[in-house]
Structure 1
């Protein structure tokens, strides 16, 4: 509920869930809502539910910066998003802690440069639950730097453009895999093991393997078996995306069984 009090906006939200992870997400969503009244329109704030990678976007402010919406997958993140480095840290996960990385550069699909930060939160079991990210579009600052006269005019409010087509998860995976192969600079038919490992490493950093079925898709694109992809992941020392999904599914199953009558 929101009330307008002169120049102030009062927001109230009742949180009734007893699930600690869900409660944390709802509290963080309220924080994002409050911050939306003081941040500039070129800064995106986004909250991810790490228990649901395929639809991780739980709350978002100024989604026009990257074009994302609530319900979008984790792999719709900007290119060179360092948040995945926190998630894929090979060290044993600590319980109930937060880790963060800040002031790194990422970019949108259309090439705009972003100044970004990511905070990853784990629950008491050490499982990633939530991720809070901020992405500032540097375009206006870069233009101002090139032309100081622009500072004399009042910047216009950015207009959200409605996309003609919203990408599906399958299309996102195909685009990311294709981009990684192109960046390798060698046709798949001529790739050796080290080059394919490099592609798999890049896809891991972009969170592709967190999505169910991605291993099979990547294996087909690289003309290898899915077991080969699993071997590549093991050789790279990276956890499989299925590990996170399994942890989330286990928690859900435990809650359901606890509700059944004895």
Structure 2
């Protein structure tokens, strides 16, 4: 087996292996630079076949190149193809083959459109004052969330010491002065209202 024959066999093996990993949306083409034809093709969604002209001018191939791309082109069906090409060289350093990996982007583009369609309308940069001016629930939520972040805690995993520290901070800030605030904080922390009052009493005792 000559060096060129061995190189072609290895390049064909790579061409067969890549779609096994990346799926049917990947076409792999082996171009023979001597004959300027396609020597091998896997998943031929471009509707080409072995023996067809290579048309290497499509990727602006230069003999000094090693890796070409990534670059984009449009398939016959209008789908956008993202490609990358690898120059396969003999031991002498001469370029013998080019391995082109073509990835059909249609699934990714459809997913991007679906994600954009599901995105909510852009929020305003600040909360509307008319809605939140008197919403002490919102202020409590923000206070508790900020306190937990600053102190390295999760609101649903506070032990007694951390809970009492949080309640002390809430009381100091005046956040518990609202009617039913203690009951709301109890629900927020997943404890009973009696526990909240006991913790507050312990803080002052």
TM-score by length of 1: 0.40
Select the residue among 68, 86, 89 that pairs with 1:101. Answer: 68
Residue in structure 2 matched with residue 240 of structure 1 by the alignment: none
For this pair of structures, how many residues does the alignment match?
Answer: 118
Partner of 2:81: 114
The residue number in structure 1 matching 2:51 is 71
Structure having the higher Rg:
2
User: Cα RMSD over matched residues?
Assistant: 2.7
Q: How does 1:22-61 map to 2 (within 5 A)?
A: 22-53=5-36, 56-61=37-42
Secondary structure at the counterpart of residue 135 of structure 1: strand
3-state DSSP of counterpart to 1:67: coil
* Unaligned 5+ runs, structure 2: 118-205
**C-alpha displacement at 1:107, in angstroms?**
1.7
CA distance in 2, matches of 1:51, 1:85: 13
2:29, 2:42 within 8 Å by CA — same for their partners in 1? yes
Q: In the alignment, what sits opposite 1:184?
A: none
Once the two structures are TM-superposed, the CA of residue 126 in structure 1 deviates from its matched residue by: 4.9
**Partner SS for 1:63:** coil
Q: Say which SS state the counterpart of residue 141 (structure 1) adopts.
A: helix
Distance 1:126 1:37, change over 3 A: closer
Q: Give me the TM-score of the superposition, normalised by structure 2.
A: 0.50
Conserved 8 A contact 2:11-2:88: no
What 5-or-longer segments of structure 1 have no aligned partner?
1-16, 88-92, 151-262
